[in-house]
Structure 1
């Protein structure tokens, strides 16, 4: 299965991002803690250049803590990184102090030119459905940004004031034109960054089942209360009552349920990279 998804609004988002980079002090990049590498847009490295950057691995409540701790050490060698959960608010209070720390040298340069008291201007970037809007709502204490449980909710850039210290520029979720590694596309699809309509959900569910059997077999069997040889779409469909006429299993419906339960972290806390 070769999954690709790059709708027209992402081309416009890339162009807009390039135009607005000059306005911001820091870029706050959101990645998925389940995909510390696969969820990071490779175009950003080229686009951002030497711009100050803070990497936030969101959805840490859905990730394998041991693996995430290892990734934090590795990625921390490249620059500041923090594991957070915009849904549970874990780590969110550390963000503004980190932004202020990153901004120290630039503030001194601005002060030397007579510019004092200006809020830190932060651009928020990331792939679709990564939780940018939910994070902004946590930071502002309200519903300043639109949220949704599907990719592509934010279509236009908008400035949002957190408080007197920080202004955020929200941007639409952006993928890249081609996933060179097919497995990256599959990982992005199973975690919800790609619209379900653009791929075969049964085929993807079969791939995810095989991946979980190899990496988290006990958690998978325990959740569905199925033996090793019974843990397939038929077995899951039987457990979830996905029956059609003649007592057959609706494997498409079983695949949809399986993907939904995986994405919510019910089956296991996983890190796929």
Structure 2
């Protein structure tokens, strides 16, 4: 890894204590950035702190669905590191795993408050810094925002919203030199995916299913997504904006493998 790729940069990273966010925190910091990790769980923040042992990482307990808390977290980040160059909106929730009509009002509202409104809050309160520093915004979306998913209506709706929002934000802020992109994974082994898999009717078959939906033949860990995120927030992607980048192992090319070569009919 180029340890100077993000030298001198400050990253505000939501949901950075586990899964994709945790791996991003590691690669951003290793590439030279200072990182402020935001999570709504003090326990999760402490666990990340114990596991990272890195210099240049600050931790703030914040619920990104609450405007005042996000504003305070951004002010604290600026107080600690002096500026913000990059905002990575990674925090998200997936529950419930249910159809639209089985989803309660509270579940629906919470999903949109965290997954979509959180982006509104971080952008609103960090925009002055991003304009000043010609910064970058990265959103963590999902392939299911494009193709849908059974028993996950509200969650996929939030991810579809993130894809559209990313493109609109890219147009709105391009004149200020701000790039806005998203990553769209398919399956990735994170604690959230493990929780989802346990809610499925065919939970004993999920691992094989998740391997088989990817053309490359396996469901990856979070590091492969973090590497793509590092590229998008760095100057190596300096002429890329409004992109929703699939990091999917080819899942969108054919969502299930039906036959292996040695099983084909003759």
The TM tier, using the shorter chain, reads: 0.3 to 0.5
Q: TM-score, normalised by structure 2?
A: 0.38
* Greater RCO, 1 or 2 (C-alpha within 8 Å, sep 6+): 1
Structure number with greater Rg is 1
Normalised by the length of structure 1, the TM-score is: 0.37
